[in-house]
Structure 1
Amino acid sequence: MRVLQPAQVLYDGDAPPILLPACDHYAGSEKLMRRSLALQRQLGPVFDVTLDCEDGAEVGHEAAHAEMAASLLDGSDNAHGRVGLRIHDFRHSAWRDDVRIVLQHARRAPAYITLPKVRGVAEAAQMCAYVETARCHAGIGRAIPIHVLIETHGALADAAAIAALPPVEALSFGLMDFVSAHHGAIPDSAMRSPGQFEHPLVMRAKLAIAAACHAHGKVPSHNVSTALRDPDAVADDARRARDQFGFTRMWSIHPEQVAPIVAAFAPHDDDIALATDILDAATRAGWGPIRHRDRLHDRASYRYYWSVLRRARRAGRPLPPRAADFFPAADDAQ
């Protein structure tokens, strides 16, 4: 008898929520970009690399920086196709050129384009529309996902509407810009731990972003940790972002932050084994309710345990042989 896979039965015909690598690593200069791509080749597609054409570009040399980023997208260093691009913000004269140059010069489209400092859903929608038009003019066959930075009052107010835009697949929290936008009303201690997890206005922003994403099947991405060379502190920030605020992804701005973030978001071996046992029993029960370790499980808990296995697979964690039957052979995103 053919076994139905979880993605076929647990979402009432809808696609499962978007799942991205748990770490989004930013690099601004060509040297750092190449170093980041080398690390990605070493570790595999368990984290994304974002080529930064905003803060990374020298003033007056924005076009050259975009051309350099395009060449890296095309190069052999982009081994897994998980390389994105951050462009300039809506008020900067170079943002359209960033998009046009990269999409016309790179034979390989970026995995996503990140929009910084949007002031509301109208700006986000306009930028999304321009990316789509530029994609069509460049002859790129697939739509380019959009990631939006939530770091202004207007963007936070419109977080749910931005998450609902079809091209958007992720919202990222820009903690430091958000705090500075309060002009001293939030202390600078809220730009780092533990204050970033304790100040009410910052907590409210994080919860609003996570809730907006989960309501629309998008990915909430947590802000950076300022502890550049303290892996334990980075891992603790990632765990708190995951467990207390519902984030499933986090920024990195130093190569030594990547591994702790990936590990912190990855399910543990015990969680993987439990999820496999429960879903294995569910398939044998035709996806009806089951009793496991004297607890009732049905499709609501099946969706949770299916997410455990999806996240484990995305993080490169080994899965039990039985779990392989739950995934389409050629689709890592399921």
Structure 2
Amino acid sequence: MRTATHPREILLGAQAAANMLPVCDHYSGVEVRMRKSLELQAQMLQEFGACVFDVTLDCEDGAAVGNEKAHARLVASLAKNSQAGCRVAARVHAVDHPAFEEDIATIVQEAGHKLSHIMLPKVDSVDDILRAERALERASGGHIPLHALIESPAAVHQAFEIAAHARVQSLSFGLMDFVSAHAGAIPGAAMGVQGQFVHPMVVRAKLEIAAACHAYGKVPSHCVVTEFRDAPALQVAASKACTELGYTRMWSIHPAQIRPILNAFAPATSEVQEAADILVAAAAQDWAPISYNGVLHDRASYRYYWQLLERAFLTAMALPQHARQWFDGNAA
């Protein structure tokens, strides 16, 4: 029996199997924007030495009605030819859409080896996950993780069951569809950057999704900020999602949103230094309890500080020299 030696395995146990995901998931569906998104991803890969955001090529909102087949072929081609080291995903149509099966077959059969995941919209229950899983297996994509978009009251009610499925890697909150699913009972202001953080039903849905993800070691991904020209508003929204609502990932719909999301989800430099110091001291004691600056630390706090270091890595922060050994050979 192999003995765990890496802090991730020692401290996180079963949850260590969950993949670390970049904190930003960038969406584009129009051809010129998809190409520019992939170019930007490649540029930032070179800049940071790691892939700091996903690009999700969008079939659901990107394909014109009647042009679904051609759009799926375009997405497959772009994904297939994406630069090595980049993370590229596809959002397909919902499982009850006529184009769903062909989306999966076209994209997975041509570019399955390059896909980081498939984003599945309009997920209401585990039955939708099972249907998508069968479609992936028919297309020889059984290895590809699923991300589920929670967009309705029924889906929020089923969030824990959906998150528990082994194929599901992340849950995202679909704010716009969630609000519109309430027949006017939630005002339109709740779709804005301010209203979505104060309306009780919207905040409740966000918290349910985050809690479901953390219960099963999955990644909660926060919804879009549609006011993409309002940089301060985006910064506030990303900070609230990260520090108040428990989200570890967020959607971007404009290139200008990517770096602010990275900055908002990155821990403070002083926190990273403290985390590294504590964990190095703990490792030297084989993870027994230690005293650091007069404060007792054990595995409970070690887990927190290790996850903080992982978030620093995922946001391309410079890690203290004595902690870099744990991340050598990894990529965000």
Match of 1:61 in 2: 67
What is the alpha-carbon distance in structure 2 between the residues aligned to residue 112 and residue 42 of structure 1?
21
Report deviation, 1:20: 0.6
Q: Map 1:1-334 to 2 at 5 A.
A: 4-12=5-13, 15=16, 17-44=18-45, 45-75=51-81, 77-106=82-111, 108-135=113-140, 143-327=143-327, 329-332=328-331
Q: What's the TM-score, normalizing by structure 2? A: 0.94
Give the letter for the 1:301 counterpart: S
Aligned to 2:288, the other structure's residue is in SS state coil
Match of 2:48 in 1: none
Give the letter for the 1:47 counterpart: F
Give the letter for the 1:36 counterpart: S
Give the letter for the 1:23 counterpart: C
Residues 127-163 of structure 1 show CA distances to partners (whole Å, capped at 9, x for unaligned) of: 1222133125xxxxx6101000000122111101110
Aligned to 1:10, the other structure's residue is in SS state helix
Q: Is 309-318 or 163-172 further displaced after alignment? A: 309-318
What is the alpha-carbon distance in structure 2 between the residues aligned to residue 255 and residue 236 of structure 1?
17
Aligned to 2:139, the other structure's residue is in SS state helix
Give the letter for the 2:115 counterpart: P
**Preserved CA contact (<8 Å) 2:15 2:217:** no
What is the alpha-carbon distance in structure 1 between the residues aligned to residue 198 and residue 329 of structure 2?
43
Aligned to 2:169, the other structure's residue is in SS state strand
Report deviation, 1:118: 1.8
Residues 72-106 of structure 1 show CA distances to partners (whole Å, capped at 9, x for unaligned) of: 1121x434230000000122100010000112222
**Preserved CA contact (<8 Å) 1:132 1:144:** no
Segments of 5+ residues of structure 2 without an aligned counterpart are 46-50
**Preserved CA contact (<8 Å) 1:22 1:46:** yes
What is the alpha-carbon distance in structure 1 between the residues aligned to residue 71 and residue 182 of structure 2?
32
Match of 1:139 in 2: none
Task: State the Cα RMSD in Å.
Answer: 1.7
What is the alpha-carbon distance in structure 2 between the residues aligned to residue 174 and residue 14 of structure 1?
25
Residues 286-332 of structure 1 show CA distances to partners (whole Å, capped at 9, x for unaligned) of: 211111121111001000100011111111111111001223x3334
**Preserved CA contact (<8 Å) 2:95 2:131:** no
Aligned to 1:89, the other structure's residue is in SS state coil
Q: Is 106-115 or 5-14 further displaced after alignment? A: 5-14
Alpha-carbon distance change, 3 to 186 in structure 1, aligned in 2, over 3 angstroms:
closer
Give the letter for the 1:7 counterpart: R
What is the alpha-carbon distance in structure 2 between the residues aligned to residue 204 and residue 3 of structure 1?
38
What is the alpha-carbon distance in structure 2 between the residues aligned to residue 151 and residue 179 of structure 1?
8
Segments of 5+ residues of structure 1 without an aligned counterpart are 137-141
What is the alpha-carbon distance in structure 1 between the residues aligned to residue 13 and residue 176 of structure 2?
40
**Preserved CA contact (<8 Å) 1:173 1:221:** yes
Please identify runs of 4+ aligned residues in structure 1 that moved more than 3 A. none
Report deviation, 1:284: 1.5
Residues 203-238 of structure 1 show CA distances to partners (whole Å, capped at 9, x for unaligned) of: 110000000000000000000012211222111100
**Aligned pairs, number:** 325
Q: Is 282-291 or 173-182 further displaced after alignment? A: 282-291
Give the letter for the 1:11 counterpart: L
**Preserved CA contact (<8 Å) 2:41 2:86:** no
Alpha-carbon distance change, 124 to 256 in structure 1, aligned in 2, over 3 angstroms:
same
**Preserved CA contact (<8 Å) 2:38 2:55:** yes
Residues 41-65 of structure 1 show CA distances to partners (whole Å, capped at 9, x for unaligned) of: 1112101000001110011111110
Aligned to 1:56, the other structure's residue is in SS state coil
**Preserved CA contact (<8 Å) 1:72 1:78:** no
Report deviation, 1:107: 6.4
**Preserved CA contact (<8 Å) 1:113 1:147:** yes
What is the alpha-carbon distance in structure 2 between the residues aligned to residue 78 and residue 303 of structure 1?
34
What is the alpha-carbon distance in structure 1 between the residues aligned to residue 297 and residue 18 of structure 2?
21
